[in-house]
Amino acid sequence: MASLDFIADHTHAAPGHNAGETTSGPPASEAGGILTVDLAALVANWRALGRRAMPSECAGVIKANAYGCGIEQVATALARAGCKTFFVADLSEARRVREVAPEAAIYVLNGLIPGTPQVYAELRARPVIGSMVELAEWDAFVAATQWRGGAALHVDTGMNRLGISATDAAALAPRIRSENHGITLLMSHLACAEATSHPLNDLQIRLFREVRMLYRGIPSSLANSSGIFLSDNAHCDVVRPGVALYGANPTPGRPNPMRPVIGLKARVVQVRNVNKGDTVGYSAGWTVRRAARIAIVSVGYADGYLRASGSSDETPGGFALAGGKRCPIAGRVSMDLMAIDVTDAPPLKRGEFVTLIGDELGLDEVATAAGTIAYELLTALGHRYHRVYRVE
């Protein structure tokens, strides 16, 4: 049933498509938007991050449906490239990864929901233990079942989100090292890695080093994407890049060392001429300043194109590329549609596409225009797009 393709998020070989591609979602001929995920670029980014962090192991953070990009597709591509360790947010994500990566170590960042240790064992997934009560529940399970599938111990070094305190970690160390609690990773998380001169970075790196000394023999992990570029002292044994895999710049203010992964195009539903003095869209907040041509495209905030990208007479918004020309979004972004001022672009036909992300319109720039960060833009990516996964 073709309509089921709308909800199926699994990659299937698309007959008639390029051998280097798989697709999902509605067919390209019917879709209002086309999202391209370049898995070859993603793998190249993973390799580049691994080289940068050498000799540390490079894991892959693929929580939130691999930052909106498709967890099965991304896990498959990274596992094939040699990635052995994944981080997800919850058990349902762990289950999806286990299906496509039977051998991988899968850590679940949000920790242990009460009553779930057995599920971890069934999935051979590893909880990231973030509090003393979680540790107690896991210990009881491990003692009762002799399960040795592993777990991470998360130590809070200044983020104040998840993790046991450094003091608790120090007190526990002799017990964890002598009895076998199956702790396979000691980890912490940086709060400000992208702000290279923030004093908290050094404090966290130093505090984590002190804790690590007490856990010698157990691999340790601290750095997210930006942490990899922050300092070699943050690399430890395993690095945990997420957003940089997907092409966002882990070094804000400096040139982006990553390859772009995401491309988004929106279909032109119609092109209309509007008169000077007219307004465009909801709340009539964008006034036509000269006779203009407006392309109505079929991507809106329900597709994850954030409403904050819209414009008004007072505030500029985001852009689209039409025939290589930068064209401003005209007025508010609607649920399923938005208007682009294409007056200065070469003529556009009904059914053609404008670029919303890609070429000169980088992911980070588009996020900034919406007043947010690439993380939010990626994880909002919609489910109505025809998705093309490039594998070579």
Ligand X SMILES: *Cc1c(COP(=O)(O)O)cnc(C)c1O
Cβ at position 86, least distance to ligand X in Å: 11
Is there binding between residue 56 and ligand X (CB under 6 A)?
no
User: Which window, 143-151, 240-248, 315-323, 376-384, contacts ligand X (CB under 6 A)?
Assistant: 240-248
Say whether 63 is catalytic: yes
Q: What are phi and psi of 368, to 5 degrees?
A: -60, -40
Q: 11, 85, 201, 225: which one contacts ligand X (CB under 6 A)? A: 225
Cβ at position 226, least distance to ligand X in Å: 6
CB 77 within 8 A of CB 245: no
Total residues interacting with ligand X, rule: CB under 6 A: 11
Distances (CA, A) of 113 to 76, 89, 188, 229: 27, 12, 20, 33
Cβ at position 5, least distance to ligand X in Å: 29
Is there binding between residue 240 and ligand X (CB under 6 A)?
yes
Token pair belonging to 245: 């895999």
C-alpha 301/C-alpha 303 separation (Å) is 5
User: Which window, 35-43, 197-205, 242-250, 293-301, contacts ligand X (CB under 6 A)?
Assistant: 242-250
CB 206 within 8 A of CB 192: no
85 DSSP β-pair partners: 105
Q: 34, 37, 39, 61: which one contacts ligand X (CB under 6 A)? A: 61
Query: In sequence order, what are the residues at sequence separation of 6 or more whose Cβ sits closer than 8 angstroms to the Cβ of residue 138?
Result: 112, 117, 127, 129, 151, 181
Q: What are phi and psi of 195, to 5 degrees?
A: -100, 90
C-alpha 123/C-alpha 278 separation (Å) is 59
Residue nearest to ligand X (CB): 242
Cβ at position 242, least distance to ligand X in Å: 3
Q: 52, 98, 126, 189: which one contacts ligand X (CB under 6 A)? A: 189
Tell me which of 67, 84, 282, 389 is the catalytic residue: 282
Q: 33, 70, 158, 242: which one contacts ligand X (CB under 6 A)? A: 242
Amino acid at 321: L
Tell me which of 63, 67, 120, 389 is the catalytic residue: 63
Of 240 and 265, the one with the shorter C-beta distance to ligand X is 240
3-class DSSP state of 145: helix
CB burial readout 41-53, b (16+ within 10 A) else e: bbbbbbebbbebb
Of 109 and 381, the one with the shorter C-beta distance to ligand X is 109
User: How many residues are recorded in the chain?
Assistant: 392
Cβ at position 49, least distance to ligand X in Å: 9
C-alpha 338/C-alpha 294 separation (Å) is 10
User: Which window, 31-39, 241-249, 281-289, 383-391, contacts ligand X (CB under 6 A)?
Assistant: 241-249
Cβ at position 184, least distance to ligand X in Å: 16
- Helix (H) / strand (E) element for 84: namely none
320 DSSP β-pair partners: 327
Is there binding between residue 66 and ligand X (CB under 6 A)?
no
Say whether 325 is catalytic: no
Q: 109, 152, 274, 370: which one contacts ligand X (CB under 6 A)? A: 109
Where in the sequence numbering do the catalytic residues fall? 63, 282
Residues making contact with ligand X (CB under 6 A): 61, 63, 109, 189, 224-225, 240-244
